[in-house]
C-alpha cells in the first residue's frame, strides 16, 4: 500500500506544479531586462523544462529515489535536500511535542467531561474548546507575544534560543530552549487539543453506555476502576487513528507557527520558498509533507492493530 501511495504523491505534486500556468523560471526571467529569449531557452534546457512532461517526471522521480531534489533557486544554490535535512528535526520535534501535549491534556479532559456530562466542568470546557477551535492560530500567536513578551516580559517571542545561548551552562541552555518553546507549543497545541478532547468525550460517552461497564459496576468495582480500567481502554482505541489524522493539520500549521515565531523549521523554510518562488524546494517540501503524513497514518494503523487485542492476534503472529 505504501509504494503506490508514494508514487501517487510524487505524481500529484508534479502535476499540480506543472499544471499551473506559467513556468517556474518566468519569475526569474520576465522582470529581468538582461534575459533575452535565447538565454531563457538555455535556462529552460538547464532545468529540463524543454522536455516532454512525462520525461521530466521520470527524470525527477529517478532523482527523488536517490533523495536528490536538485538545487535551490535561492541565491545560496545549495542542494534542496541539505536545506530540508537541517530543518526537518526542528519541525518533527515541535510536532511530536505538541502531539504528546495534546494527548496528555485532551484525554483526561475528555474523560472528565464525559463522566459528568452536562455538568459545570463539561460546559466550561465546551466553551473553551469552541473558542480554541475557532481562534486563528496566528492571532493567538500575536496575542501571546503581546501579553507574555511585551506586557509581562516573561517569555521570548522569537527564535529557538537567545543570543547568548552558546555561553550558557548546559542546564541554563535547556531552560532557555524551553522558554522559547512555550508560546509556539501553546499555539500549535490548542487547535488539535480542541478536536481531540471533544472526540474523546463522545467516545467515552459511548463506552459509558455499554453493558460491560454496568457489569463492572455490578461486580462491585469502584467507579474509578470502572472508568479507568474498563472504560478508558476502549475509549482510547479510536484516538490512535485520530492522532494519525491530525498530522496533516499539525504539519501544515507549522507554516504559520514557525513563521510567526521565527523558528527555523520546515514550515518556515517552505514559506520562504513559496515567497521566493523557489520551485525545487516547494516541490520537495510538498512531497516530504505528504510522506510524513503517510508515515503518520501508517504508524497509527500499526498502533491501532497493536493496541487492539482482537487485531493483534491476527496481525502480529
Partner 1 sequence: MTAKDFARRFASNRMALAGLLVILGLFGVSLSAGFLSPGDPDRPDLRARLKPPGSGHLLGTDALGRDVLSRLIWGSRVSLKVGLVSVGLATAIGLFFGALAGFYGGFADGLIMRFCDLMLCFPAMFLVLAVISLLEPSIWNVMAVIGLTSWMGVARLVRAEFISLKNRDFVLAARALGASDARLILRHLLPNALAPVLVSATLGVAGAILLESGLSFLGLGVQPPTATWGVMLADGKDYLSRAWWLSFYPGLAILVTVLSYNLAGEGLRDAIDPRR
Residue carrying the nine cell digits 535565447: 38
CA distances from 32 to 46, 156, 183 (A): 18, 41, 42
Note whether 249 binds partner 1 by CB under 8 A.
yes
Q: Which span (38-46, 98-106, 131-139, 167-175) binds partner 1, by CB under 8 A?
A: 131-139
Ranges within 296-315 binding partner 1 (CB under 8 A): 297
Query: Rounded to the nearest whole angstrom, what is the least distance from the CB of residue 23 to partner 1 in the complex?
Result: 9
Note whether 119 binds partner 1 by CB under 8 A.
no
CB-wise, 71 or 259, nearer to partner 1?
259
In this chain, which of 137, 238, 264, 303 binds partner 1, going by CB under 8 A?
A: 137
How many residues form the binding site for partner 1 (CB under 8 A)? 48
Give CA–CA dist 113/101, Å, rounded: 18
Residue carrying the nine cell digits 496528555: 104
- Look up residue 178 and give its three cell numbers: 524551553
The answer to whether residues 90 and 181 touch, using CB atoms and an 8 Å cutoff, is no
Q: Kindly report the three-state secondary structure assignment for every residue of 274-289.
A: HHCCCHHHHHHHHHHH
CB-wise, 160 or 251, nearer to partner 1?
251
Note whether 150 binds partner 1 by CB under 8 A.
yes
CB-wise, 226 or 261, nearer to partner 1?
261
Note whether 290 binds partner 1 by CB under 8 A.
yes
Ranges within 6-25 binding partner 1 (CB under 8 A): 8-9, 12-13, 16-17, 20-22, 24
Query: Rounded to the nearest whole angstrom, what is the least distance from the CB of residue 173 to partner 1 in the complex?
Result: 28
What sections of 209-278 are H helices per DSSP? Answer: 211-218, 223-225, 233-245, 247-260, 266-275
Note whether 274 binds partner 1 by CB under 8 A.
yes
CA distances from 72 to 79, 157, 286 (A): 6, 29, 14
CA distances from 80 to 90, 122, 171, 235, 269 (A): 17, 48, 34, 43, 11
Interacting residues with partner 1 (CB under 8 A): 5, 8-9, 12-13, 16-17, 20-22, 24, 130-131, 133-139, 142-143, 145-146, 150, 248-249, 251-253, 255-256, 259, 270-271, 273-275, 277, 282-283, 285-286, 289-290, 293-294, 297
Amino acid at each position: 500500500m505504501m509504494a503506490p501511495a508514494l508514487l501517487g504523491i510524487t505524481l500529484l505534486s508534479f502535476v499540480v506544479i506543472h499544471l499551473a500556468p506559467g513556468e517556474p523560471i518566468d519569475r526569474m526571467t520576465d522582470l529581468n531586462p538582461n534575459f533575452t529569449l535565447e538565454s531563457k531557452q538555455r535556462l529552460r534546457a538547464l532545468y529540463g523544462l524543454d522536455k516532454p512532461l512525462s520525461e521530466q517526471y521520470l527524470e525527477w522521480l529517478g532523482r527523488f529515489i536517490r533523495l536528490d531534489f536538485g538545487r535551490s533557486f535561492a541565491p545560496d544554490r545549495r542542494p534542496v535536500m541539505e536545506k530540508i535535512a537541517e530543518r526537518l528535526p526542528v519541525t518533527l520535534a515541535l510536532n511530536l511535542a505538541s502531539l504528546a501535549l495534546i494527548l496528555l491534556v485532551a484525554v483526561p479532559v475528555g474523560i472528565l467531561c464525559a463522566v459528568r456530562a452536562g455538568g459545570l466542568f463539561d460546559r466550561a470546557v465546551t466553551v473553551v474548546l469552541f473558542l480554541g477551535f475557532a481562534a486563528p492560530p496566528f492571532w493567538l500567536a500575536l496575542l501571546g507575544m503581546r501579553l507574555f513578551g511585551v506586557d509581562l516580559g516573561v517569555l521570548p517571542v522569537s527564535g529557538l534560543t537567545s543570543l547568548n545561548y552558546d555561553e550558557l551552562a548546559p542546564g541554563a541552555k535547556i531552560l532557555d530552549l524551553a522558554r522559547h518553546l512555550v508560546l509556539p507549543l501553546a499555539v500549535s497545541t490548542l487547535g488539535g487539543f480542541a478536536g481531540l478532547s471533544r472526540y474523546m468525550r463522545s467516545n467515552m460517552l459511548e463506552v459509558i453506555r455499554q453493558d460491560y461497564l454496568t457489569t463492572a459496576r455490578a461486580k462491585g468495582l469502584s467507579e474509578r476502576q470502572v472508568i479507568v480500567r474498563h472504560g478508558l481502554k476502549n475509549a482510547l482505541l479510536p484516538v490512535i487513528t485520530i492522532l494519525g489524522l491530525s498530522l496533516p493539520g499539525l504539519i501544515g500549521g507549522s507554516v504559520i507557527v514557525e513563521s510567526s515565531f521565527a523558528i527555523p523549521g520546515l514550515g518556515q523554510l517552505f514559506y520562504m520558498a513559496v515567497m521566493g518562488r523557489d520551485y525545487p524546494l516547494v516541490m520537495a517540501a510538498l512531497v516530504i509533507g505528504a510522506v510524513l503524513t503517510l508515515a503518520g497514518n501508517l504508524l497509527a494503523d500499526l498502533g491501532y492493530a497493536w493496541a487492539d487485542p482482537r487485531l493483534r492476534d491476527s496481525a502480529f503472529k
